[in-house]
Chains A and B, each alone.
Chain A
């Protein structure tokens, strides 16, 4: 299998879907001539022209709203929001319009819209550019939210999102764009709503998504050196949530550590912990533990920023405490 970056995988998915389906087009700030703030749309403006790769003014509400309107009448827009921090300007369009329209109008139309946006910390990007806000959308019925960790899942899930008839928020890990990985050849999709076991293990389940899956895998390698076999569950989709795969893993290992890059309070880890409490309580050998960012707006100083974010060592330490608690 070819090895490419997460960024290249996304670019391939966009190119292939645009070649496959003439109703697919891109909308966003500086995605054309500039080739995207993170170069995900590199080369597409040259290949498809300005009709299908539309540069927009800085106006998130109308950018997303246009995507919804075009989707309501049969196109498949892929909107890029430069970073998830700016999506708050389009919150009304996503939550009050895209998520509601099908139900509100009695099932008489669909909204095949994909919104791509990078989430999470970069490097010293500070408070207004370093957030994980996907949990806000993952709690909204009518939306789908996916957050792939690997190039292979990024490509397959983006294709699935574009082909889906529902509004899909596609979360890209900001620090994942340069990560390399094997990607299957040819056309494939990864189903929305299915978690995957990124690493098998018997002692503890580490449940994560997006970049934290890679951090969890790193932690699992360190733990293996110390004789602890961790299973890593990569959620891949936040809504619909594949609770079944999580519960099956936790029932097997009896321990759960849940990791997210964002703030844990009311976050994705809170939801997963609740699902485990509801569905696997009798199987637990230890309390469920959550790991996330320190709850402050992201500071600028590099040492402070790294202190905010969760790292593999945090997971290793937490798992060791948890496992030894009963040994």
Chain B
């Protein structure tokens, strides 16, 4: 039975709120430049998101704004594992994914501002980032709704005899909806090259996973589809990356889809409209903050002598400048022209 393989990888035996598995010795797997690129991306996401929150409070950004703060290790580990020829499709908490995929932070911030220079020309906003040149096929905002699309992309790859892979990210809240189960069933049945990447941050809005899922260990849900599954420490960027790489390889070479559960945490509320206090304790948030993925990775790099204090300062400075430039670009860009209000509804427009 396939689910015996649940024992592989970083399966955590402790209660889900306190994953304790130590990071495997993964530093040596990656060249220093790659490690620093990952470190920089994590910092970029953190700083970009904090800036976006600030811009929201200054009413530069409207609508819903869901931030990846706290989830940087899972996001960066996942996306940097994915080669450029492969497809990425995500849920609506998507800024970090676009940034990690290489989309210009200015273009992302402009989209949050609703400007025409944004990656969706100001039509999508925070939840609907898109970058066709990097095969990032969108942030989608109906929980679980984009999983069937990922299956279709996988089917198209299979139809053409290609060897690309689809990485489909979603939150643990999506695993209680029918589309999740229909999608996993077909993906396994037809052996489609898909990685189902579930960021389990324990709360679907304010609903704790233990109250929403009969099986709160999300990776176990794959057993119904005889699909390979694994739970990794999503606060550890290297563990996240390594598990994703193996899942991608499995999809590409063996045509075996996987369900990977990244155990992580969002420090902020569900969206900017949620202070994130009603359904969890401050103590719990602090416990997770104590395991901060950036601090942890930084320490690992420093202890291994891969990051000097001068480099650290230079990276921090460069990231701050990048985020400031992104805001400037967004500020200076125009809103979409009213004359183009009905453009893009149909292909001929």
Contacts and interface: CB of A to CB of B under 8 A. Distances in A.
Interface string B108-139: 00000000001111111000101010000110
Contacts of A73: 87, 137, 152-153, 156-157
Contacts of B137: 72-73, 109
Interface in A96-128: 96-97, 101-112
A57 B347 contact: no
Contacts of B140: 97
A164 interface: yes
A69 B155 contact: yes
A11 interface: no
B186 A106 contact: no
B296 to A, nearest CB: 35
A66 B343 contact: no
B30 interface: no
Which of A56, A61, A141, A142 has the largest number of chain B CB atoms within 10 A?
A61
Given A72-B153, A97-B149, A103-B344, A62 B120 contact: no
A69 B137 CA distance: 9
B130 A105 contact: yes
Interface residues on A, range: 35 or more
A185 to B, nearest CB: 29
26 contacts: A51-B159, A57-B185, A57-B186, A61-B179, A62-B148, A62-B151, A62-B185, A66-B149, A67-B152, A68-B149, A69-B154, A75-B159, A97-B149, A103-B344, A104-B128, A105-B124, A105-B128, A106-B120, A106-B121, A106-B130, A107-B121, A107-B123, A107-B344, A108-B121, A108-B130, A110-B347
B156 A108 contact: no
* Interface range, B side: 35 or more
B132 A109 contact: yes
Contact of A164 (B130, B151, B157, B347): B347
A71 interface: yes
A144 B347 CA distance: 11
Given A70-B156, A72-B153, A110-B347, A61 B120 contact: no
A62 B122 contact: no
B250 to A, nearest CB: 20
Interface in A50-97: 51, 56-57, 59, 61-62, 64-75, 77, 92-93, 96-97
Interface string B152-186: 11111101000000000000000000110011011
Interface of A: 25, 51, 56-57, 59, 61-62, 64-75, 77, 92-93, 96-97, 101-112, 141-142, 144, 164-166
Pairs of residues from A and B, 5 with the lowest C-beta to C-beta distance, nearest first: A65-B148, A69-B152, A106-B121, A165-B347, A107-B344
A62 B179 contact: yes
Contacts of B147: 62, 65
